[in-house]
Amino acid sequence: MGDTLLLGSSETELQIAANVLRQGEIIGIPTETVYGLAANACDPSAVAKVFAAKGRPADNPLIVHLAFFEQAKKYTTRIPPLAYKLAERFCPGPLTMVLPKNDSIPMITSGGLDTVGIRIPSHPIMHRLLEIADIPIAAPSANTSGYPSPTSADHVMQDMDGKIYAVVDGGESQFGVESTVISFEDESRVRILRPGCVTKEMLLEVCEDVIIDPAILNELAPGQKAASPGMKYKHYSPRADIIMVESTAEEFQRYVGEHYSDGVYALIYTGDEEGFPYRHLTYGCDSSEQAHFLFARLRELDEIGAERVYVRAPSADGVGLAVYNRLIRAAGFEVIRI
Ligand code: TXA
Ligand code: MG
């Protein structure tokens, strides 16, 4: 054990967490998507500690969390009317809007970009912390860069114990995958840079058109510019080699059988385990459950010593697109289609 404090969510403990953040330290915090690694977004040296603790590339910007969307005015130069409409419908919640930043957000926080991702988290503990601390909180997911995002305080400890001041325990994250990140194309259209639990279909209730950035499902060509820097990097990967197999349950079982050996595991849908004769874990029976459990299962596979994991590919519809996007990256774009 390192010396990272584990804090509960009492008012006294949140006061401690808020003070520590205001003094320039960094801490793990719960949100409804995944756990974040929090720093005062306006304090360059605090933000530098986040990049160091994660081993994160300096050009990958951090999301800035606020208690209320109205506060975004303080950190941006222009908020399109469509952003207010989206905020009315989806904030607080798992949506990040990329907006032009002003000088109060330091360049280190925005990874050198002139934009900032703004998110209003709905987790009550995170909301309370934002209110008490009364500062904008920059927070990437609290994993070591490249590793699956943490969905419990325990996961944050696995990656950050001894590297950060404290972790606030807020229980298991509700959604399990990170927020939907969008940018604005024009006054009526948005582009999804990272899919999450606010889906294309939900955004279409407010926007005329929703573009899915091609980098969500396809590997960037060498030298191609990423709309979101995070799309350049290998992500969400456990130590085990992940191979995604798009097929029926029957074909999947046959395929695993043909490739079975020491260290091989399967990650299958809940409901398909009866009579499945190979070492396996399940990750839920529908897209929401799969989103909730995916990262925890990827970590568990490492713990049990899996070397190669065949994953039955999730549906890419609705929330499924978020799950599919994380897995295809974890797999380094290796997909077997049967
Ligand atoms: O649900 C979430 O969004 C979690 C919780 C903690 O809020 N945070 C999170 O942060 O997932 P992070 O840093 O792990 O992922 C942020 C993603 C990265 O892919 C980054 O490149 C992109 O959002 N992003 C952030 N700011 C951006 C900007 N100004 N322009 C384009 N992409 C941006
Ligand atoms: Mg992340």
| Gyration radius from the chain CA atoms | 20
107 CB-near residues (< 8 Å, 6+ apart): none
List the residue whose alpha carbon is closest to atom 10 of ligand 1: 140
Which atom of ligand 1 is least distant from the CA of 113? 29
Ranges in the chain annotated CATH 3.40.50.11030:
241-337
So what's the pLDDT on residue 21? 98
CA of 35 to the centre of ligand 1 (A): 12
Instruction: Kindly identify the ligand whose nearest atom is closest to the C-alpha of 62.
Output: 1
- Going by pLDDT thresholds of 50, 70 and 90, the confidence category of residue 220 is confident
On the question of pLDDT at 150 being above 90, the answer is yes
So what's the pLDDT on residue 1? 58
Nearest to 36 by CA among 11, 12, 56: 56
How large a percentage of the chain has pLDDT more than 70? 99
Which atom of ligand 1 is least distant from the CA of 175? 1
Instruction: Kindly identify the ligand whose nearest atom is closest to the C-alpha of 126.
Output: 1
Question: Which residues neighbour ligand 2 (ion) by CB within 5 Å?
Answer: 141
So what's the pLDDT on residue 227? 81
170 lines ligand 1 (CB under 6 A): no
179 lines ligand 1 (CB under 6 A): yes
On the question of pLDDT at 233 being above 80, the answer is no
In the chain, at which residue ranges do the beta strands (DSSP E only) sit? 5-7, 27-29, 36-40, 63-65, 95-100, 115-119, 137-138, 166-168, 180-184, 189-194, 209-212, 241-246, 264-268, 280-282, 308-312, 335-337
CA of 329 to the centre of ligand 2 (A): 12
Task: Report the distance separating Cα 193 and Cα 48, nearest Å.
Answer: 24
- Going by pLDDT thresholds of 50, 70 and 90, the confidence category of residue 223 is confident
Ramachandran area for residue 70 (φ above 0: left; ψ -120 to 50: alpha; else beta): alpha
On the question of pLDDT at 29 being above 70, the answer is yes
Q: How far is CA 89 from CA 188, 192, 207, in A?
A: 15, 17, 11
Ranges in the chain annotated CATH 3.90.870.10:
5-216
Ramachandran area for residue 87 (φ above 0: left; ψ -120 to 50: alpha; else beta): alpha
List the residue whose alpha carbon is closest to atom 6 of ligand 1: 36
CA of 277 to the centre of ligand 2 (A): 34
So what's the pLDDT on residue 218? 87
So what's the pLDDT on residue 180? 98
Task: Report the distance separating Cα 182 and Cα 110, nearest Å.
Answer: 15
With 0-12 CB in 10 A as exposed, 13-18 as middle and 19+ as buried, what is 134?
Answer: exposed
Which atom of ligand 1 is least distant from the CA of 179? 1
Task: Report the distance separating Cα 87 and Cα 89, nearest Å.
Answer: 5
Average pLDDT over residues 277-297: 98
Q: Does domain 5-216 have CATH number 3.90.870.10?
A: yes
Best mutation site among 159, 168, 191, 228 for ligand 1 pocket (most ligand atoms within 8 Å of CB): 228
How large a percentage of the chain has pLDDT more than 90? 92
Nearest to 310 by CA among 250, 240, 207, 248: 240
Element (H, E) at 50: helix 44-54
Average pLDDT over residues 143-166: 97
- Going by pLDDT thresholds of 50, 70 and 90, the confidence category of residue 100 is very high
Do β-strands 241-246 and 308-312 pair in parallel, antiparallel, or remain unpaired?
parallel
Best mutation site among 51, 63, 108, 137 for ligand 1 pocket (most ligand atoms within 8 Å of CB): 63
On the question of pLDDT at 285 being above 80, the answer is yes
Considering Cα of 118, then 122, then 128, then 129, what sign does the dihedral take?
A: negative
- Going by pLDDT thresholds of 50, 70 and 90, the confidence category of residue 226 is confident
Average pLDDT over residues 292-308: 97
What's the length of the chain?
338
So what's the pLDDT on residue 219? 86
Average pLDDT over residues 39-52: 98
CATH of region 241-337, choose from 3.40.50.1860, 3.40.50.11030, 2.40.37.20, 1.10.290.10: 3.40.50.11030
| Model pTM above 0.95 | yes
Whether residue 196 contacts residue 216, with contact meaning beta carbons closer than 8 Å, is answered with no
Average pLDDT over residues 277-287: 98
141 lines ligand 1 (CB under 6 A): yes
So what's the pLDDT on residue 238? 84
So what's the pLDDT on residue 185? 97
Task: Report the distance separating Cα 325 and Cα 193, nearest Å.
Answer: 11
Average pLDDT over residues 217-223: 83
182 lines ligand 1 (CB under 6 A): no
Average pLDDT over residues 215-219: 89
So what's the pLDDT on residue 270? 98
Angle at the Cα of 102 from the Cα atoms of 101 and 103, rounded to 5 degrees: 130
